[in-house]
Amino acid sequence: MANKIIAKDLNLYYGAHHALKNISMDIKENCVTGLIGPSGCGKSTFLKTLNRMNDTVPGVKVEGTVLLDGEEVYQKAVDVTQLRKKVGMVFQNPNPFPMSIYDNVAYGLRIHGIKKRIVVDEIVEKSLRGAAIWDEVKDRLKKPALSLSGGQQQRLCIARTLAVQPDVILMDEPTSALDPISTMKIEELMSELKKDYTVVIVTHNMQQAARISDYTAFFLLGELVEYGETSQIFSMPQDKRTEDYITGRFG
């Protein structure tokens, strides 16, 4: 499988704090890659280097290389709005805008200049179907998004991300604020999504990583301790620390 994203010797500092240490990692196209590790290990920080959402944090400094389809993400010539259009993101807490369901999904299209009613209608429906929420909302597209349940809101946020037609979808603990049934729905969705997208998911939940990801990376204290196929990481970890973590000895 081709490499979608290649990170090489990636270092990130929040002021004096060295948050990512020499991360080198290839992310495969059309796969789900899970990032696991205890709180503060750098997994979310790494995720946000891929769409440069770290840029909004004051005092952040990034060194090293991140290649997306062979293009350096951190070069000066990059237009971050185009980068983020290509690399979408779903956040930990569902964060739909205080607008209608329809407008939430259409938002991304409108900011990228797609305003034709028929086109927008079509992509909104396609995106909501893609996020497995169409049947639940098709009769109330004009209702406020905040009237949905937490799990529905999160799938709406996934639909909103799909609408701008990204290549890569980053998910930052997308189910940690949800109940088990909503979590299950989103996990099922992920195996669908990888057919068309490259998915990178941060999860606090090791069982989740084992269930849904093809590749798993274990982060600890800003280092990438171990990275490989999920089955191998969970059955035959090479590193003692990985083994301790997945067997529940710490974290």
Partner 1 sequence: MEHSILRSAKTKSAVEHVMHMLFVVCGLIAVVAVLFISIYMVASGGPAIAKIGVWEFLFGQIWNPEAGTFGILPFILSSIVATALAIFIAVPIGLGAAIFLTHIADKKTGGVFLFIVELLASIPSVVYGLLGAMLVAPMIFKLQNMLSLSQSGSLLSASIVLVIMILPTIISVSVSSIQSVPKAYNDASLALGASKMQSIFKVILPAAKSGIAAGIVLGVGRAIGETMAVMMVAGNAAIMPSLLGPVRLLTVGISLEWAYSSGLHREALYGIGLVLFVFIMIINILLSFILKKGGKKS
- Residues at the interface with partner 1 (CB under 8 A): 51, 53, 56, 58, 81-85, 88-89, 91, 93, 95-99, 107-108, 110-112, 144, 146, 157, 160-161, 164
**Phi, psi (deg, nearest 5) at residue 168:** -120, 140
CB of 83 to partner 1, least distance (A): 8
Residue 22 vs 95, nearer CB to partner 1: 95
- Whole-number minimum distance, CB 90 to partner 1, in Å? 8
Q: Which is nearer to partner 1, 161 or 208 (CB)?
A: 161
CB of 82 to partner 1, least distance (A): 7
**Shortest Å, Cβ 58 to partner 1:** 8
**Closer residue to partner 1 (CB): 1 or 57:** 57
Of the two residues 58 and 180, which places its CB atom closer to partner 1 in the complex? 58
